[in-house]
Amino acid sequence: SAVISQKPSRDICQRGTSLTIQCQVDSQVTMMFWYRQQPGQSLTLIATANQGSEATYESGFVIDKFPISRPNLTFSTLTVSNMSPEDSSIYLCSVEGQGLTGEQYFGPGTRLTVT
């Protein structure tokens, strides 16, 4: 499985500011995914990021609020813009495995608290 790192691991931010989360993979992958996990909840897919194309956002998530970059096959960023306390959550990136089953492997997550 791929080794995935995220920066920062945690942050405390003021409302109205923006935070960019980085996701780095140790191998080239076609698809990268960004999830949100609110306290005590399961994972919700924010968007799918393919290199060389615009990210595909799930219902309820928009590019203005969560802009995503995917400059190459090993890196992606997710920005949480104009933050409010409701954005306090863990943000995780994931990648598909090399097999054909479609399993995903997750980064360690970024714990964001908005005050």
* Residues at the contact surface with another protein, assessed by CB under 8 A: 1, 31, 33, 41-45, 48, 56, 92, 96-97, 101-109
Report, in Å, the least distance between residue 12 CB and another protein: 16
- CA 107 centroid distance within chain: 9
Contact 110, 91 (CB under 8 A): yes
- Judged by CB, which is closer to another protein: 3, or 17? 3
Find the shortest distance in angstroms from Cβ 36 to another protein.
Answer: 11
How far is residue 45 from each of residues 61, 95, 112, measured CA to CA in Å?
Answer: 9, 12, 17
